[in-house]
Amino acid sequence: MLTEHSKNPEQFEISNSPTIQLVERDLGDTGESSRNFHIFDVYDSEEQIIGMVNVSLEPGLNQAIITDVKVENPYRDEGYGKAIYKKMISYAKENGLQLRSYSSSPNSKGVWESLVREGLAEEIDGRYYAK
């Protein structure tokens, strides 16, 4: 499960991407929905918060779905959004899950299409799936 990684946050350097650190927020245990919903704060290499990502788990489907990604204004267009998606692909793989898109806003679609060009994702019936 994704929560295990947040207990020992690490920095991740992905080639051609900024170095980021993901730290999961403690949402408490308010039932099944809280166990399937995760919010990660995103920090840069200087430990400045630069954004966040929401992920929903789909029990039984072995899927993790990015439902929202926010990158603060001063950090946009610097590759942080793509670095977040790449890190979430890694998390999903490490936990036996497939990462997929929830919706295709113009920004998320651009990131997913970039991941498709890099061979890290594919589009099937209008949804994006990490490979």
What SS3 class is residue 52? strand
Mean pLDDT of 19-32: 77
What percent of the chain is predicted at pLDDT more than 70? 83
Entry pTM: 0.80
The Cα–Cα gap between 6 and 98 comes to 18
CB atoms within 10 A of CB 126: 8
Is pLDDT at 7 greater than 50 in this prediction? Answer: no
Instruction: Note the pLDDT tens digit of each residue in 47-98.
Output: 999 999 999 988 788 999 999 999 999 999 899 999 999 999 998 998 899 9
The Cα–Cα gap between 96 and 1 comes to 8
The pLDDT value given to residue 36:
85
Return the bridge partners of 44, or none: 20
The pLDDT value given to residue 41:
94
* Pairing label, strands 37-44, 20-24: antiparallel
Strands (E), 1-131: 11-12, 20-24, 37-44, 49-58, 63-71, 98-101, 121-124, 127-130
Tokens of 75: 């950090």
The pLDDT value given to residue 14:
45
The pLDDT value given to residue 106:
82
Which value, to the nearest 10 degrees, does the dihedral of the CA atoms of residues 51, 56, 57, 59 take? Answer: 170
Could you tell me which of 124, 99, 98, 121 has the C-alpha nearest to residue 110? Answer: 121
The pLDDT value given to residue 30:
63
